[in-house]
Amino acid sequence: MNKARSKPVNALAMHGALILYTLIALFPVFIILINSFKSRRAIFREPMALPDAESFSLIGYQTVLKQGDFLLYFQNSMIVTVGSLFFILLFGAMAAYALSEYRFRGNTLMALYLALGIMIPIRIGTVAILEMMVATGLVNTLWALILVYTAQGLPLAVFILSEFMRQVSDDLKNAGRIDGLSEYTIFFRLVLPLVRPAMATVAVFNMIPIWNDLWFPLILAPAEETKTLTLGSQVFIGQFVTDWNAVLSALSMAILPVLVLYVIFSRQLIRGITSGAVK
Amino acid sequence: MTALSLSSVNKSFGDVHVLKDIELSVEEGEFVVFVGPSGCGKSTLLRVIAGLEEASSGEIRIAGEVVNTTPPAKRGIAMVFQSYALYPHLNVRGNMTLALKQERQPRDVIAARVAKAAAMLNLEDYLDRYPSELSGGQRQRVAIARAIVREPKLFLFDEPLSNLDAALRMNTRLEIANLHRALGGSMVYVTHDQTEAMTLADKIVVLRDGRVEQIGSPMDLYNEPVNRFVAGFLGAPAMNFFPAGLLSPGDRRITGLRPEALHVDPDGPLEVQVSHVEQLGGDTNVIAQMQDHQITARLFGQHAITEGTRLRLGYDPARAYHFDETGARLG
């Protein structure tokens, strides 16, 4: 163990800084959560106070669950996020494997072309995307969102995953070939499990922006039956009056599923981030 | 019957010509070792034989059949890798049986072969363990067992001992030699370690820069190297080289003397200054300078020689080798 690191003063300072950071990061979430359980008047009078017997109210949740088809929005968001992640990981991993494993003409060029997407924000092409979706009749379907998010996530996914695929032992893949496994079996059974941490990293990086996105749902799928949670919550924010109880309750509920997905991926994520550094 | 024959095999990666006109045949039951410095193309040659790389030109026959376009799994080979390359998601039994299941062998055949291979390599107690729960030596034994169960026409070993520590390497080397005796299979073994080559091989193939330098039995190569490279590569410590002109002025040849051919002789022709002494108990290696050439002498037994002393060394002229300036052996 490093001596400098084990000094109690340093350890204290380090933990102090980390705890402070955690508090700052969690504070807005905490405020949203406590205020979602308070009556409208209590929110404005004492925004920092915890709900007590007098100020406690579930009015926000009641409004959210009554008005608008909240469960449907929830389901839409879930379908879009999970579907997009599935396609990003599947196609991203396959492309990354092809780029890192096979020698073919234009390999480097193809890798650069795919990486280019990282530098160009997809929103620049919104108008063209909308025209395309209208032409193909995909407007107001969840597929429109899934396709766009898959395209948006692929460049970074290919970039990160191909780096990790290169580290998978050649001997292992060759052993599989000699034992008569098909290239698909080698990919799915031998290579994918070994790059699981990298896949989790890619999943988390993509999941949160997709879940929170307002732009594309608003433009491509604003119909009632395809609204996502973020778009659905907007009904409570009016130009003149905003139903804060409902907004805060909706936000509180929107945090939950991301939290669950994050917990699932996070163990792998930490390994994914650190594995390159401490190998 | 020949287990493997290569005729004018070439391999290029782009502009880099890695293997140049390789001609080779491996007889049935023969243990052939490819040896050479790193980058000489020995591993590439093995991969070409395995079918993991395609030969740019030439013909590869395994057990008489041309296999140039046959995929690795159908060539009747089994390979053991340097990094073991065990499937991490399967236990030892699963690792051993995967290839047989792919070949759709009947269940009882698989069970019998696994039992036999496990017994040969003392793996019976580990069949249900996962690779991550095994030590390096055990993993390599599993890798070898995985090759054995396939009962291939040809075994390929790619530096299988390089990842093991010295003591384990010696044991595993013995184990491989015993296996070869017990199975009588044809084996091709790649290594950069000349000790492994000398101890295991029936036939050694010395490679340099993608070319075969010499093929022969270990003692042939040791006693009759065709050039300076082979002479210097085989034998430890390595052969000494110095210009013959140092002893008989005007001679343009290069003299090669094995360290074990030298002995201390007050009337000897080589006058050297000792720079270092390695006492190994059984032998004593004396490293000395003759003008600016380093000379190593391997003396049998224990000798009290101190650094810095001047010595005269003698040798039997019949045990000296001579090479021309290009390195080719003379007479």
Same domain as A268, residue A204 = yes
What mean pLDDT comes out for the span A150-161? 92
Same domain as A148, residue A71 = yes
DSSP B328: B
End-to-end CA distance of chain B: 35
CATH number of the domain that residue A224 is part of = 1.10.3720.10
Same domain as A137, residue A7 = no
Which pairing describes strands B321-323 and B329-330: parallel, antiparallel, or unpaired?
antiparallel
Looking at A22, A38, A57, the residue that finishes a domain is A57
Same domain as A113, residue A33 = no
Nearest C-alpha in B relative to A171:
B85
End-to-end CA distance of chain A: 18
Same domain as B169, residue B31 = yes
Same domain as B201, residue B300 = no
What mean pLDDT comes out for the span B300-314? 90
Same domain as B186, residue B168 = yes
| Number of domains chain B contains | 2
Q: Where are the beta strands (DSSP E) in B90-144?
A: none
Whole-structure pTM value: 0.80
Instruction: Note whether A175 contacts B85, CB cutoff 8 Å.
Output: yes
B71 chain-A contacts, CB cut-off 8 A = 177
Cis peptide before B237 (omega within 30 of 0): yes
Residue B147: what pLDDT? Answer: 93
A180 chain-B contacts, CB cut-off 8 A = 73-74, 99, 102-103
Chain A residues in contact with chain B using a Cβ-Cβ cutoff of 8 Å: 169, 171-172, 174-181, 189-190, 193-194
Rounded CA Rg of chain A: 23
Same domain as B128, residue B215 = yes
What mean pLDDT comes out for the span B294-323? 91
B103 chain-A contacts, CB cut-off 8 A = 180
CA angle A131, A137, A142 (to 5 degrees): 100
DSSP B293: E
Inter-residue contact B1 to B76 (CB < 8 Å): no
Closest CA to B162 of B192, B205, B197: B192
CA distance B99 to chain A (A): 4
pLDDT band at B59 (very low <50, low <70, confident <90, very high): very high
CA distance A139 to chain B (A): 44
B73 chain-A contacts, CB cut-off 8 A = 177-181
Same domain as B267, residue B141 = no
| Spatial CB neighbours of B5, under 8 Å, sequence gap ≥ 6 | B24, B25, B26, B59, B60, B61
Same domain as A136, residue A187 = yes
| Number of domains chain A contains | 2
Same domain as B130, residue B179 = yes
Q: Which amino acid is at A257?
A: P
Helix (H) or strand (E) holding A253: helix A244-275
Closest CA to B180 of B33, B6, B23, B14: B33
CA distance B187 to chain A (A): 16
DSSP A71: H
Report phi then psi at B18, rounded to 5: -90, -40
Same domain as A128, residue A33 = no
Same domain as B221, residue B145 = yes
Same domain as A236, residue A215 = yes
Same domain as A249, residue A137 = yes
pLDDT band at A88 (very low <50, low <70, confident <90, very high): very high
Same domain as B45, residue B157 = yes
| Mean pLDDT lowest among A88-92, A264-268, B220-224, B301-305 | A264-268
What proportions of chain A, in percent to the nearest 5, are helix, strand and coil? 80, 0, 20
Same domain as B241, residue B183 = no
Report phi then psi at B75, rounded to 5: -85, -5
Domain range enclosing B28:
2-231
Same domain as B161, residue B23 = yes
Closest CA to B75 of B99, B54, B51: B51
Same domain as B73, residue B112 = yes
Inter-residue contact A84 to A145 (CB < 8 Å): yes
pLDDT band at A277 (very low <50, low <70, confident <90, very high): very low
| Rounded-to-integer distance, Cα A126 and Cα A260, Å | 31
Same domain as A130, residue A242 = yes
Same domain as B196, residue B81 = yes
Domain range enclosing A214:
64-275
Same domain as A102, residue A47 = no
Q: Which residue has the tokens 């948006």?
A: A152
A108 chain-B contacts, CB cut-off 8 A = none
| Rounded-to-integer distance, Cα B66 and Cα B226, Å | 31
CATH number of the domain that residue B113 is part of = 3.40.50.300
- Closest to B83 (Cβ–Cβ): which among A171, A176, A181? A171
Chain B residues in contact with chain A using a Cβ-Cβ cutoff of 8 Å: 47, 50-52, 71-74, 77-79, 81-89, 98-99, 102-103, 146, 158
pLDDT tens for each residue of A241-276: 778 888 888 888 888 888 888 887 777 766 655 554
